[in-house]
């Protein structure tokens, strides 16, 4: 098989991994669209668009995860790159400015250590022999030894081990060869190696940095029965316990939808399409935990699922309408963060400007406050834009039909 054919198969096999911020295929509304020949676009935390060569080393896999196009029981052409193939391909794409980095994963075609060694060999050759200075994201193969994970982090910018399903019960049903304990063990290894590396670097500044972009993981949404509360609770624990930089949520794409081929697996739900609104609300809830100091328990206090029609911050404010209005002239940073329509940046700007002069409603727009949302929850020196109303009416005013037209959060990668 020539390199072009391999690239086409192994890029297509990699496209359902969202943990480089390109969720699913090129469906509209996805967070990044896969371009032909393995080039996928991702967004950095500051909104910059970057392109990555996103491929598998091999799509042969011994495991039979029901949701995966590469599972052993799938009737799909199998192939693998060699280390030379991938080093050459990455360097060629990089030199021609097609990509700024490499996202490399693999099916588990043999013992986890041996698969991990192949991924490490690609990254190491790129760094040491090819002088590659671009971004490298390597998948950690659960079950690979800590020594290999330690080495992977020396060549890669980011490492990720996908948890995929939120509970052991779902893993047993849909991915019976996987074990939550082994996957958490891999995350723990990455987190511990990172912490030890920081310690070493405090003593000796020249110590090479271990995975400077940290670790991430992916959760599939809608392939198993867990509710949003379980998913967000797990994400909160992952951020706390393993210093996770990002949890990516990937709406389950059923067979026959969005160009996804294969035979439907009876273990999977027969849903008409990927639950994209749910995926989006989970990203918003995740955003609240990472940047707005919400706990998982606060986000889902009463119901097991996030509100489809209003974003989770507005939903929280409406449940706690007695805490509003908040006067922007006097509120502290934490109070400002709780106001729908006020982000972390606009909250900081409000505090800065307030020290110099008094705020005005017109000025708030220039500070980035979305008055369309904030107006029901704020006062300025005691004055309202809109007197607080019945929460049901505010909810109607602020609801977006099934998430249509939502502003997607920015990604780092
Ligand atoms: S381990 Fe499971 S999810 Fe990963 S490639 Fe194999 S079948 Fe797919």
- Quick: pLDDT tens for 140-195: 999 999 999 999 999 999 999 999 999 999 999 999 999 999 999 999 999 999 99
Q: How far is the CA of 207 from the centre of ligand 1 (A)?
A: 35
Mean pLDDT of all residues in the chain? 88
**Would you tell me how many other CB atoms lie within 10 Å of the CB of residue 323?**
13
Q: What percent of the chain has pLDDT over 70?
A: 88
At 45 the pLDDT is 55
Q: How far is the CA of 40 from the centre of ligand 1 (A)?
A: 20
Strand partners, 216: 160, 246
Strand partners, 139: 160
Of 67, 108, 141, best ligand 1 pocket probe by most atoms within 8 Å of the beta carbon: 108
Indicate which atom in ligand 1 lies nearest the CA of residue 62: 6
At 20 the pLDDT is 59
- Residue 196 above 60 pLDDT? yes
Going by alpha carbons, the residue nearest to atom 5 of ligand 1 is 107
Q: How far is the CA of 332 from the centre of ligand 1 (A)?
A: 47
Each residue of 335-364: pLDDT tens digit?
999 999 999 999 999 999 999 988 998 899
At 43 the pLDDT is 64
Q: How far is the CA of 186 from the centre of ligand 1 (A)?
A: 16
- Can you give the pTM of this predicted structure? 0.88
What SS3 class is residue 285? Answer: helix
Going by alpha carbons, the residue nearest to atom 2 of ligand 1 is 65
What gap in Å lies between CA 180 and CA 163, rounded to an integer?
7
Beta strands in 287-385 (DSSP E): 326-327, 378-380, 383-384
Both tokens of 345, joined, read 């940046």
Indicate which atom in ligand 1 lies nearest the CA of residue 70: 8
Indicate which atom in ligand 1 lies nearest the CA of residue 69: 8
Give ligand 1 pocket residues (Cβ under 6 A). Answer: 61, 63, 65, 68, 70-71, 107-108, 175
């Amino acid at each position: 098989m020539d390199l072009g054919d391999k690239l086409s198969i192994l890029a297509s096999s990699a496209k359902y991994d969202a943990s480089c911020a390109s969720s699913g295929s090129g469906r509209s509304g996805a967070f990044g669209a896969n371009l032909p020949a393995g080039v996928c676009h991702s967004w950095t935390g500051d909104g910059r668009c970057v392109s990555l060569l996103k491929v598998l080393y091999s799509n042969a896999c011994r495991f039979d995860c029901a949701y995966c196009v590469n599972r052993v029981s799938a009737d799909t052409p199998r192939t693998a790159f060699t280390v030379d193939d991938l080093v050459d391909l990455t360097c060629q794409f990089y030199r021609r400015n097609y990509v700024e980095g490499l996202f490399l994963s693999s099916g588990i075609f043999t013992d986890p250590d041996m698969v991990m060694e192949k991924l490490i060999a690609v990254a190491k050759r790129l760094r040491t022999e090819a002088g590659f200075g671009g971004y490298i994201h390597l998948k950690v193969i659960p079950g690979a030894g800590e020594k290999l994970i330690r080495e992977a982090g020396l060549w890669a910018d980011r490492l990720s081990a996908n948890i995929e399903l939120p509970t052991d019960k779902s893993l047993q049903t849909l991915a019976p060869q996987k074990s939550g304990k082994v996957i958490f063990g891999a995350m723990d290894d990455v987190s511990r190696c990172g912490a030890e590396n920081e310690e070493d670097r405090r003593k000796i500044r020249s110590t090479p940095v271990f995975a400077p972009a940290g670790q991430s993981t992916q959760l599939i949404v809608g392939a198993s029965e867990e509710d949003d509360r379980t998913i967000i609770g797990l994400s909160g624990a992952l951020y706390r316990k393993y210093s996770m930089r990002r949890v990516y949520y990937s709406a389950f794409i059923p067979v026959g939808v969005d160009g996804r081929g294969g035979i439907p697996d009876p273990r999977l739900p027969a849903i008409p399409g990927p639950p994209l609104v749910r995926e989006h609300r989970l990203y918003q809830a995740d955003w609240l935990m990472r940047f707005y100091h919400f706990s998982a328990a606060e986000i889902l206090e009463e119901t097991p699922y996030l509100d489809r029609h209003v974003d989770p911050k507005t939903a929280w404010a409406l449940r706690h309408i007695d805490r509003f209005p908040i006067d922007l002239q006097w509120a502290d940073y934490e109070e400002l963060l709780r106001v729908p329509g006020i982000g972390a940046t606009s909250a900081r700007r409000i505090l800065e400007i307030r020290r110099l002069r008094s705020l005005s409603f017109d000025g708030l727009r220039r500070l980035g406050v979305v008055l369309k949302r904030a107006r029901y929850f704020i006062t300025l020196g005691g004055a309202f834009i809109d007197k607080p109303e019945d929460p049901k009416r505010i909810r109607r005013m602020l609801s977006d039909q099934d998430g249509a037209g939502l502003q997607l959060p920015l990604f780092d990668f």
